[in-house]
Amino acid sequence: MVNVSNLERIINKTKKIVEKSREELYRLGETARQEYERTRYELDSVKNQISDLIREVDELEGEYTKARLYLMEVSRDFNRHSEEQIKGAYEAAHAKQLELLSKREKEKLLRLTRDHLERNLKNLETTIRRSEELIANVSMVLKILGRDLESLSVEIGEMQQRQALGFSIIMAQEEERKRVAREIHDGPAQSLANIVMRAEYCLKLMDISPSKVKEELFGLMDLVRSSLQDVRKIIFDLRPMSLDDLGLVPALKKYVEQYRNDCGIYVELTVLGREYPLDGCQAVAIFRVIHEAMTNIKKYAGASQAVIKVEFSKNRVNVVVRDNGIGFDVERVLSEKRGVAFGIVGMRERIQLLKGKFEIKSAPGHGTEIAFSVPVVNNEKLSIGSRRD
């Protein structure tokens, strides 16, 4: 059997791992955005430097061109210019040439830097977009994971409840078998043994004192009637024949009549709505729950009166069993797991198997009320009208 608490720990651990991964993605995405902003700022700065450098190169090219023309002019006419003027013109042209080469080299390096930054910027854009997609996917996975795992946990919990319910039903069946075996052993079996002994006594008495045989046979007949009554009671407790032959209400009427005679408790049976045939399992379950409730009243309630109300509505059968007994603290009794608690649990489990609702209300000194409702189908058949017994 799967341990639900272990499953919940696994679920929580998995969710924490996924949430931590999402946080890591957030941090990576934020780092990529910061790097993107820094790279874009640096790229803009490099572009501005390139623009300024292009203007400077254009100006230097003009100045270098003028210096070369002046050098050519001075070089063609040595007589008109002194050696110092020629040397100065040459040095000026050379200086402009070196400065122009330096600026062009710097421009080339800046262009390489710009291209590198543009590639980094595109890569960072891809990284940011990918991180956003991953964050969205992880968030969706986290949402689905949480919902699905929680649903799985609920389903496993329900499965375990069904398993526990099946186990409790098996235990209840075994307890019922044990009770029936004990009742047969203490009742009909003992009576039959006594009947055999008294029949043998009658045979011997016929030889000794035939006049007394008649009196002994009358006693034997009373014993057989008593045994037969015990057998019928056991059969009724196992499954009332009238429940299959006549339906729920006639079986309840017969049970209430017998209950009054046996227990001395006044019971009022009220049937509301138009009675219709029930599925065999539903009828048995409803009867068994009422039977268990009335048994608890006899054993524990100390009541003088009880009410059984059965209502046949369109899609449900609603039942209330109420008494004027001593009542009890429901939570305390259920926690103590006494006999009455097992009876209540058994009633609730029977109704839950039929997908019904079960509720018990009680308080010390205020009696007890058990209410349950069972959904039904195929209830359109006309049957017996409302009745009150």
Each residue of 3-32: pLDDT tens digit?
A: 556 766 777 777 788 788 878 878 888 888
Where does a domain end: 163, 192, 210?
163
pLDDT at residue number 243: 73
Token pair for 84: 């110092």
State the pLDDT at residue 58. Answer: 86
Choosing from 120, 145, 163, the residue where a domain stops is 163
**Both 314 and 193 in a single domain?**
no
pLDDT tens per residue, range 286-331: 998 998 899 889 888 888 999 999 999 988 999 999 999 998 888 8
128, 143, 163 - which closes a domain = 163
| Structural domain of 213 | 172-230
74-132 pLDDT, tens digit each: 777 666 766 777 778 788 888 888 888 888 888 889 889 999 989 988 988 888 888 88
Decide if 238 is inside a domain. Answer: no
| Average pLDDT of the chain, as a whole number | 80
Please check whether residue 92 is in contact with residue 67, taking contact to mean a CB–CB distance below 8 angstroms.
yes
Does this model's pTM top 0.75? My answer is: no
**Looking at the structure, do residues 196 and 257 belong to the same domain, yes or no?**
no
Q: How many domains does the chain have?
A: 3
pLDDT in the model for residue 162: 67
Task: Please count the residues of the chain.
Answer: 389
Residue 320 shares a structural domain with residue 209: no
Indicate whether 236 belongs to any domain: no
Res. 165: pLDDT tops 70: no
3-state per-residue secondary structure call for the chain: CCCHHHHHHHHHHHHHHHHHHHHHHHHHHHHHHHHHHHHHHHHHHHHHHHHHHHHHHHHHHHHHHHHHHHHHHHHHCCCCCCHHHHHHHHHHHHHHHHHHHHHHHHHHHHHHHHHHHHHHHHHHHHHHHHHHHHHHHHHHHHHHHHHHHHHHHHHHHHHHHHHHHHHHHHHHHHHHHHHHHHHHHHHHHHHHHHHHHHHHHHHHHHHHCHHHHHHHHHHHHHHHHHHHHHHHHHHHHHCCHHHHHCCHHHHHHHHHHHHHHHHCCEEEEEEEECCCCCCHHHHHHHHHHHHHHHHHHHHHHCCCEEEEEEEECCCEEEEEEEECCCCCCHHHHHHHCCHHHHHHHHHHHHHHHCCCEEEEEECCCCCEEEEEEEECCCCCCCCCCCEEC
Q: Is residue 111 part of a domain?
A: yes
What pLDDT was estimated at residue 224? 85
Residues 156 and 21 in one domain: yes
Is residue 237, in this structure, part of any structural domain at all?
A: no
143 and 287 together in one domain:
no
pLDDT band at residue 272 using 50, 70 and 90 as cut-offs: very high
Together in a domain, 213 and 103: no
Q: How would residue 381 be classed by pLDDT, with cut points 50, 70 and 90?
A: very low
Q: Given a cut of 70, is residue 61 above it in pLDDT? A: yes
Q: Which range, 148-157, 214-223, 258-267, is most confident?
A: 258-267
Q: What is the mean pLDDT of residues 150-165?
A: 66
Q: How deeply is 368 buried, as exposed, middle or buried, from its count of CB atoms within 10 A (0-12, 13-18, 19+)? A: buried
On whether both 26 and 153 belong to a single domain, the answer is yes
Higher-confidence residue of 259 and 159: namely 259
Residues 110 and 194 in one domain: no
Residue-level pLDDT at 322: 93
Same-domain status, 129 and 73: yes
Note whether 201 and 333 are same-domain residues. Answer: no
Q: pLDDT value at position 164?
A: 66
Assign 376 a pLDDT band (cuts: 50, 70, 90): confident
